[in-house]
């Protein structure tokens, strides 16, 4: 079964989150939840993993930031970095990545492009360039903690995903390039516009290692019923 990373953003209040947890605990599926930071303490479960939606960029903590130290003390070992909603500069993403790795956290690092870039050869080249830039700032010993997530910026929170054939071509080129250049192939996730109408071929793909799901994952009953139906 393909790992699913569910970004719940700030969609729920406490009552709704506790109900979300109850429903998700009925599901036997490899799920990682990214709840709003305020709900992390009440969302622990043996049925799924937890991931922070963001992390601070250094130990010089500022108001409202979420430190790696705090997350680790809450038993959260993963974080999402660079979601398009946050509009982080590349330099800030790198600082956050380095901070997360300092605390030995697993990192889901988002990569993106524009609609004008949408051609599988050009997109692959552009995304690979971002991967090279990221890896130039980290130690090879930390490669095992990094998962790259490709989310076309114009498809975040939309109802239409990138074409599955296009996505598989992009991922195949990326994996071949990583293997040749790095002798290391990072897990590659896709995110953007996924919903019950288009999710199945992405789950069934042998090229895509995992999926980042946003809005569709915020309704737990609909989401769980869908996953149960495609087993």
Nearest-angstrom CA–CA distance, 127 and 150: 8
pLDDT digits (tens, 9 = 90+) for 85-122: 777 789 999 999 999 999 999 999 999 876 666 555 67
Which tokens go with 109?
């690092």
Terminus-to-terminus CA distance in the chain, angstroms?
9
- Of 127, 129, 124, which is closest to residue 112 (Cα–Cα)? 127
- Give Cβ neighbours of residue 178 (< 8 Å, ≥ 6 apart): 128, 131, 184, 185, 186
**Residue listed under structure tokens 């090229």:** 207
Superfamily, domain 4-229: Aldolase class I (3.20.20.70)
Region of poorest pLDDT, from 3-17, 56-70, 200-214? 56-70
pLDDT band at 79 (very low <50, low <70, confident <90, very high): very high
- Of 150, 62, 52, 48, which is closest to residue 103 (Cα–Cα)? 52
Is residue 208 within 8 Å of 171, Cβ to Cβ?
yes
- Of 3, 5, 22, 8, which is closest to residue 218 (Cα–Cα)? 8
pLDDT digits (tens, 9 = 90+) for 14-32: 999 999 999 999 999 999 9
Domain locations in the chain as residue ranges: 4-229
Model pLDDT, residue 115: 65
pLDDT digits (tens, 9 = 90+) for 125-172: 899 999 999 999 999 999 999 999 999 877 766 678 889 999 999 999
Please report, rounded to a whole number, the percentage of residues in the chain having pLDDT higher than 90. 77
What's the chain's average pLDDT?
92
- Of 62, 16, 63, 23, which is closest to residue 45 (Cα–Cα)? 23
Model pLDDT, residue 120: 56
């Amino acid at each position: 079964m393909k790992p699913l990373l569910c970004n719940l953003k700030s969609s729920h209040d406490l009552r709704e989150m506790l109900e979300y947890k109850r429903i998700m605990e009925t599901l036997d599926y490899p799920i990682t939840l990214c709840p709003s930071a305020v709900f992390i303490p009440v969302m622990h479960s043996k049925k799924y993993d937890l991931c922070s939606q963001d992390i601070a960029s250094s130990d010089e903590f500022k108001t409202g930031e979420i430190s790696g130290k705090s997350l680790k003390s809450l038993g959260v070992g993963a974080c999402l970095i660079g979601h398009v909603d946050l509009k982080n500069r590349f330099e800030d993403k790198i600082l956050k990545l380095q901070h997360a790795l300092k605390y030995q956290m697993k990192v889901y690092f988002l990569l993106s492009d524009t609609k004008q870039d949408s051609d599988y050869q050009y997109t692959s080249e552009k995304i690979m360039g971002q991967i090279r830039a990221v890896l130039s700032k980290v130690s090879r010993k930390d490669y095992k903690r990094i998962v790259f997530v490709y989310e076309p910026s114009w498809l975040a929170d939309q109802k239409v995903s990138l074409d599955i054939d296009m996505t598989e071509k992009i991922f195949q080129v990326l994996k071949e390039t990583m293997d040749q250049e790095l002798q290391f192939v990072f897990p590659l996730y896709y995110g953007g516009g996924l919903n019950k109408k288009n999710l199945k071929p992405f789950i069934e793909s042998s090229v895509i290692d995992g999926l980042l799901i946003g809005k569709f994952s915020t309704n737990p009953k609909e989401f769980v019923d869908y996953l149960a139906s495609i087993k």
